[in-house]
Amino acid sequence: MKRAPLGPGAILVLALLAGGWFLQRGVAQEQNVYLQSRLFQEVLDHIADRYVEPVGRGDLYDFAIEGLIRELGDPNTSLLNVDDYENFRIQAEGDYGGVGLEIVERDGYITVVGPIPGSPGARAGIRAGDRIVEVDGTSIRGWSSQQAVQILRGPAGSSVEVQIQRPAVETPVEFTLERARIQLRSVSYATLLEGELGYIPLDLFNETSGQEVRAAADSLRSQGARALILDLRGNPGGILEQGIGVADLFLPQRLTVAETRGQSREQNQALRTGSPDRYEGVPLVVLVDRGSASAAEIVAGALQDHDRALVLGSTSFGKGSVQTLFSLSGGNVLKLTTARWYTPAGRSIERAVPPGESVEEAEPAATAALSLDGQFVIPPDTVGRPRVQSMAGRTLVGGGGIVPDLIVLADTLSAPEQRAVRALYREAGRYNTGVFNHAVDYLQRNGDRNRDFQVTDRDLDLLYERLAANGFGVDRETWDTAARFVRFQLESEIALQGWGEGLQFQRRLPHDRPLLQAIELLTGARTQDALFARAGSVPAEISPPEASGGDEPE
């Protein structure tokens, strides 16, 4: 049966009916919001007037705001009062008196993302993943990161007592930190390895990071570097624009570095490079680990997605959200998460955690091993993660954080050594202070002329005696079992205090498995594609025969 077409009159009736339905729906939604607002005010009035204990109306509004923010479940969203905002501003500008810890609130705990190199927190031995549970005897469980920053910061030269809950260590560890003027720097040194490989450790992102990396790379190239290693391990992030600037040094013009995605149109944007690849054709390796976060992850993700660098190491931290500051009445400021970061290939940088689990449950510290430098080595977390393709067709792993092309974990201590070192960690505050003081005394006794110094068994005996005289609670048998770890720590501290980070790096290099792997791969690769082939992460355009060769194809 043939259907008659709808006439203009019928269409007008339908349009009016549909419009009326949408209008009614909009009115209903407005009425619902009005009723909810009225309900809230009624509840607040009853509590203020009739609750068994008196509660001020101002406090009730504060409770409501705090509860609203808490229910978002986002540790990076918070309401900053005037003092909180000033502390936040000082921290962002990177020149202040404090202990030098990059922190974030996670699962109700103030968690260390990473210590700033050379800061009091770094010298004391505080590590990424440590939880700060007390400051000067006050529990800070459930505090925001801004509250914790405020209590940790203070005049340079003043002391603060910090109690740390360290993964896989049963009892909290106490540290006494002397606050110092924290002046952030990005590249503390750069050096040539094997005579032709430029090594640039980028410790954090501040106002001059792009300039510092460029200066270091240019200097290394002038010295004969034909390949570069950009070390982002332990880099907690920092100024976003500088992260974009560093990526811009290694990528062609007008390529996407990262994207933000949020609820509104202005929150959805792509950040792109503005200049040509300054080091075109130079093979590049980027090193990351669990301490690499935020801007460091944006750089690593962009270079990985665009097939400009081989990313090597262990999965990064997973800090991939964007915060915007909104000025409010009374001088208050709302720091609100408004978007998330995505790599050019569409991977979310924000670490994905299974529903109902915390980060620690998703990556249980009890299964972590200890490396010679005292870091926790967590097994790879790639099972069940989504796969995406790089711009050249290489398979990359998504699901939060930056998963390296080649996972290379640090060498771990033996089981007895790990048990002994965990016992040292229970005395970490006293132990790390003792190592620092002993290193200074060693240099005063022996001078700083012998760069090839060796720590002897007698040196370890003297250190133990010094610690025991100050109440050190580790027995001698446990100390002897941990001797390899202690020797490494003491040698590293002496090198740092006597000759700076450059010599400390040289002394630690023979034990740095990820970096040694990067050196080995770069030694036999003259192009980026050859580097991918040697690592087994092959772009689609490289044929299997060429990829299987160990040397660069002619």
> Does residue 533 register a pLDDT over 90?
yes
What is the identity of the amino acid at 348?
Answer: S
Question: What is the rounded average pLDDT of the residues 7-22?
Answer: 51
Question: What is the rounded average pLDDT of the residues 16-39?
Answer: 65
Q: What is the pLDDT of residues 206-254, one digit of tens each?
A: 889 999 999 999 999 999 999 999 999 999 888 889 999 999 999 999 9
Query: Tell me, what's the pLDDT at 322?
Result: 81
Question: Which of 209, 294, 316, 537 is the catalytic position?
Answer: 294
> Does residue 27 register a pLDDT over 60?
no
Query: Tell me, what's the pLDDT at 541?
Result: 53
Question: What is the rounded average pLDDT of the residues 98-122?
Answer: 82
Question: How sure is the predictor about 363, in pLDDT bands with cuts at 50, 70 and 90?
Answer: low
Least confident range from 74-83, 199-208, 361-370, 379-388: namely 361-370
Least confident range from 92-96, 244-248, 463-467, 505-509: namely 92-96
Query: Is the distance from CB of 365 to CB of 129 less than 8 angstroms?
Result: yes
> Does residue 548 register a pLDDT over 70?
no
Question: Which of 319, 321, 348, 512 is the catalytic position?
Answer: 319
Least confident range from 27-31, 121-125, 264-268, 330-334: namely 27-31
Question: What is the rounded average pLDDT of the residues 272-299?
Answer: 96
Query: Tell me, what's the pLDDT at 550?
Result: 36
Burial 414-439 (b: 16+ CB within 10 A, else e): eeebbebbbbbbbbbbbbbbbbbebb
Nearest to 174 by CA among 127, 134, 118, 221: 134
**Ramachandran region, residue 399 (left: φ > 0; alpha: ψ -120 to 50; beta: rest):** left
Query: Tell me, what's the pLDDT at 154?
Result: 85
What percent of the chain is predicted at pLDDT more than 90?
50
> Does residue 316 register a pLDDT over 60?
yes
Question: How sure is the predictor about 551, in pLDDT bands with cuts at 50, 70 and 90?
Answer: very low
Active site residue 222: no
Query: Tell me, what's the pLDDT at 554?
Result: 31
CA–CA distances in Å: residue 245 to residues 242, 355, 409: 5, 36, 29
Question: What is the rounded average pLDDT of the residues 322-328?
Answer: 86
Residue 340 pairs in a beta bridge with 261, 321
Question: What is the rounded average pLDDT of the residues 108-130?
Answer: 82
Query: Tell me, what's the pLDDT at 413?
Result: 94
* Max avg pLDDT among 36-45, 208-217, 323-332, 376-385: 208-217
Query: Tell me, what's the pLDDT at 14?
Result: 46
Active site residue 145: no
Question: Which of 231, 305, 307, 459 is the catalytic position?
Answer: 305
CA–CA distances in Å: residue 229 to residues 78, 236, 294, 297, 475: 37, 18, 20, 16, 42
What's the whole-model pTM score?
0.74
Query: Tell me, what's the pLDDT at 235?
Result: 93
Burial 233-249 (b: 16+ CB within 10 A, else e): bbbbbbbbebbbbbbbb
Question: What is the rounded average pLDDT of the residues 494-519?
Answer: 92
Query: Is the distance from CB of 176 to CB of 429 less than 8 angstroms?
Result: yes
Query: Tell me, what's the pLDDT at 89?
Result: 66
Residue 298: which H helix or E strand, with range? helix 295-305
Q: What is the pLDDT of residues 424-463, one digit of tens each?
A: 988 888 898 788 888 888 887 887 778 899 999 999 999 9
Between 80 and 120, residue with greater pLDDT: 120
Question: What is the rounded average pLDDT of the residues 493-522?
Answer: 92
Active site residue 2: no
**Torsion over CA: 114, 230, 454, 446 (sign):** negative
> Does residue 12 register a pLDDT over 80?
no
Query: Tell me, what's the pLDDT at 545?
Result: 35
What average pLDDT does the structure give for the chain? 85
Q: What is the pLDDT of residues 151-167, one digit of tens each?
A: 998 888 899 999 998 87
Question: What is the rounded average pLDDT of the residues 141-146?
Answer: 86
> Does residue 168 register a pLDDT over 80?
no
What is the identity of the amino acid at 501?
Answer: E
Domains of the chain: 78-183 (2.30.42.10), 191-356+365-412 (3.90.226.10), 415-513 (no CATH)
DSSP string, 504-535: HHHHHGGG-HHHHHHHHHHHT-SSHHHHHHHH
Q: What is the pLDDT of residues 178-194, one digit of tens each?
A: 999 877 679 989 999 99
